[in-house]
DNA sequence: ACCAAATACTTGACGCTACAACTATTAGGC
DNA sequence: GCCTAATAGTTGTAGCGTCAAGTATTTGGT
């Protein structure tokens, strides 16, 4: 066991601010979405991923990867969304172990209605306080961190619009 | 109601990466602390804040602010930490409505033992992948975002070491 | 062709957090 | 000095996520 390498003052400052953002940001997004659309951020994100998929359909495993959830968590969430009529489950023809999650028309309507308010919050809290250069820096830095947290790039791929 | 201003490609890219980090980072920290020290990140953070306070003592309201928790949440957590002998509650002499949370010797030992492993994880996932310039950029950018999320700077102040 | 291991989920139980309701104490208005 | 409002904290409940266990199907070795 080698000696602990502590953080420099600059590193500590940056770290503390990052952790503060990580703690505060989810709550902010959560409140706005819950208040205006009755969705948790994870529910919104799930619907958004489906809305971008071909046929608005995704296998559970794939959807779990895109939303960074365990299969168990996703299964519970999809059950709730299904009860509310926003998502439908469908047996997969090619692999009978698999289940497809399909966005219903009501689900589509819900995401589309929720999107502007959500984007507004994202702007207010993150994008608008930053300059163009800041945004580029943020992109680069988060990219480097994700190289470690998500080496297989499961959560980055989606090159479409929305969210 | 004005029209929705959507995000540019650059903004969207940066946003998606930030949200991925926000989703993935807590789980990583959580796992390491739980595995190596039997603490949740919030419990660790609570103990760490107490360890930096004068007399290792803080009023519940103040501790709640430093950890960005509601009083209700903190009360539950302190109850559990108290059962494990890491924290002690103490009536406040000046204001009899108030309660002080005090770090016990066992609590101090626990944080001190947990810190190196935690810092190691922080290094691996966030600091080491970044250049010196990146760290400065990160500090600046998170600072701007916190200006919105935490205008009263409740979560930033603590100028001491640790964590 | 067969059997073990891997894959793709689902379900139930438990722990933690948010929300609401409640108690106790202090501060302010007049 | 009252009486109301604000402050400080605790507790119970309900909802969501994790973990462990279980089912169904497919893959791969021989």
Q: Does A4 touch chain B (CB under 8 A)?
A: yes
Nucleotides of C under 7 A from a protein CB: 7-12, 16-21, 24-27
Query: Nearest CA to the C1' of D24 belongs to which residue?
Result: A97
d(CA A87, CA A83): 8
Contact A155, B20 (CB under 8 A): yes
A95 CA from C2 C1′ (Å):
21
Look at chain A and report how many structural domains it folds into.
1
The answer to the question of residue A6 being in a domain is no
Shortest distance between the Cα of A96 and any Cα of chain B, in A, equals 31
The answer to the question of residue B19 being in a domain is no
Residue B154 Cα to chain centre, angstroms? 12
In CATH, what number is assigned to the domain containing residue B72?
1.10.10.10
pLDDT band of residue A158 (cuts 50, 70, 90) is: very low
Shortest distance between the Cα of B94 and any Cα of chain A, in A, equals 31
Instruction: Give the nucleotide nearest to A71 (CA→C1').
Output: C9
Instruction: Give the nucleotide nearest to A73 (CA→C1').
Output: D17
Q: Does B18 touch chain A (CB under 8 A)?
A: yes
The answer to the question of residue A79 being in a domain is yes
- Residue range(s) defining the domain that contains residue B50: 38-149
**Please, which residues bridge with residue B99 across strands?**
B91
Query: Nearest CA to the C1' of D23 belongs to which residue?
Result: A97
Res. A1: pLDDT tops 70:
no
- The predicted pLDDT at position B99 comes to 97
The answer to the question of residue B29 being in a domain is no
The answer to the question of residue B157 being in a domain is no
The answer to the question of residue B24 being in a domain is no
The answer to the question of residue A103 being in a domain is yes
Each residue of A2-27: pLDDT tens digit? 678 889 999 999 999 999 999 899 98
A161 CA from D12 C1′ (Å):
44
Q: What is the mean pLDDT of residues B133-158?
A: 86
- The predicted pLDDT at position A159 comes to 43
The answer to the question of residue B32 being in a domain is no
- The predicted pLDDT at position A5 comes to 86
A8 CA from D21 C1′ (Å):
46
Other Cβ atoms within 10 Å of A79 Cβ, number: 11
d(CA B84, CA B103): 12
d(CA A48, CA A50): 5
Other Cβ atoms within 10 Å of B85 Cβ, number: 12
Backbone angles phi, psi at A120, to 5 degrees: -60, -45
d(CA A28, CA A122): 9
Residues within 8 A of B (CB atoms), A 36-65 only: none
- The predicted pLDDT at position A29 comes to 92
Of B32, B22, B63, B27, the residue nearest B45 (C-alpha): B63
- The predicted pLDDT at position B158 comes to 44
Res. A49: pLDDT tops 70:
yes
Each residue of A93-151: pLDDT tens digit? 999 999 999 999 999 999 999 999 999 999 999 999 999 999 999 999 999 999 998 88
Each residue of B55-69: pLDDT tens digit? 999 999 999 999 999
Contact B128, A5 (CB under 8 A): no
Mean pLDDT, chain B, rounded, equals: 91
């Amino acid at each position: 066991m080698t000696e602990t390498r502590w953080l420099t003052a600059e590193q500590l400052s940056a770290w503390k601010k990052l952790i503060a953002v990580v703690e505060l940001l989810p709550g902010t997004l959560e409140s706005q979405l819950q208040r205006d659309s009755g969705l948790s951020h994870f529910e919104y994100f799930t619907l958004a991923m489906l809305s971008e998929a071909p046929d608005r359909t995704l296998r559970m495993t794939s959807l779990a990867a895109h939303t960074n959830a365990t299969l168990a968590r996703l299964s519970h969430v999809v059950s709730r969304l299904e009860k509310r009529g926003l998502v439908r489950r469908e047996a997969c023809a090619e692999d009978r172990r698999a289940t497809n999650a399909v966005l219903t028309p009501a689900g589509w309507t819900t995401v589309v209605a929720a999107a502007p308010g959500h984007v507004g919050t994202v702007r207010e809290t993150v994008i608008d306080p930053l300059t163009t250069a800041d945004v580029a820096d943020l992109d680069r830095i988060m990219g480097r961190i994700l190289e470690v947290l998500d080496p297989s790039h499961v959560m980055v791929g989606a090159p479409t619009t929305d969210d």
